[in-house]
Amino acid sequence: MQKEWRKVLDELPDTPEKIPVFFFGHGAPMTMGPDSDSAGHVPAVILPWAGASGPLATFLKDFGPALLKKYPPKGIVVFSGHWETYGELTDYGESNPLLYDYQRSLAPSFYEIDFESRGDTALAQRVVDLYKAAGQRARLTPKTEARGEDGRGFTGPGFDHGVFIPFRIMFGSVFTDIPIVQVPIDSSLSPEVHWDVGKAVAELREEGILILSGGFTVHNLHNISKKYLVA
């Protein structure tokens, strides 16, 4: 698999006028492992694929350094399917906290995962300004304000696992050289709104900003939790 995606990445222009946008599966907490702590929380048949030694974790571990080498950005803007608001972006300033937004019954190791990173108030405000210029609702909120919904009742503050799990694998436990701003998906879940949002932030690609989006094609955690995971 590595050979295939590396070939595609290598064939992209080295110095494009616009940095490409990348979407990837962000993985569950089990992607961090160890697999022994994941047993009982995912079906045994899934663990070889979703665990710390599975193909997704291997891909993310290789993809992060390769991506930064090809497109060293001034900042990263990341969309996560685990954060829904009507245009509210949280300014975390110099230190991005983490929100362990997953079930309470996981092994203690999953609540000890660390990822040290920093935000950028100017970049967060730039995103808000682009939203407004495109006619979208947007405002910058302090980290003391509830961060909206994530589909499971966690209100924050902090980077959810749709960001800190893949970024921890991609970039290591300490990643402070490049600022990161997380952006929510719109609570309307409207395809038209998200199409307009994509067009609104496209200018960032010409400003040296890497735009990433993590999730899955289908990601209904309410139903997945009831069917597969231990409550």
Phi first, then psi, for residue 134 (nearest 5°) are: -95, 5
Give the pLDDT of residue 231.
40
Give the pLDDT of residue 214.
82
Phi first, then psi, for residue 85 (nearest 5°) are: -145, 175
Give the pLDDT of residue 40.
63
Give the pLDDT of residue 205.
95
Residue range 2-227 forms a domain whose CATH class is alpha beta
- Are 208 and 74 contacting, i.e. CB atoms less than 8 angstroms apart? yes
DSSP state of 75: E
Q: For residue 5, with 0-12 CB atoms within 10 Å meaning exposed, 13-18 middle and 19 or more buried, which class applies?
A: middle
pLDDT tens readout for residues 90-123: 888 889 999 888 777 777 888 889 999 999 999 9
Give the pLDDT of residue 230.
46
Report domain extents, the chain. Answer: 2-227
- Are 200 and 130 contacting, i.e. CB atoms less than 8 angstroms apart? yes
Tokens representing 179 are 């600022």
The whole-model pTM stands at 0.88
pLDDT tens string for the chain (231 positions)? Answer: 788 989 999 999 887 788 999 998 887 788 887 766 666 666 666 677 777 888 888 999 999 999 999 999 999 999 988 888 888 888 888 899 998 887 777 778 888 899 999 999 999 999 999 999 989 889 998 888 777 766 556 666 889 888 999 999 999 999 999 999 999 888 888 889 989 999 999 999 999 999 999 876 655 555 555 554 444
The β-bridge partners of 174 are 116
Q: What is the DSSP string of 122-188?
A: HHHHHHHHHHHHTT---EEEETTS---B-SSS---SSB-HHHHHHHHHHH-SEE-SS-EEEEEEETT
pLDDT tens readout for residues 120-140: 999 999 999 999 998 988 999
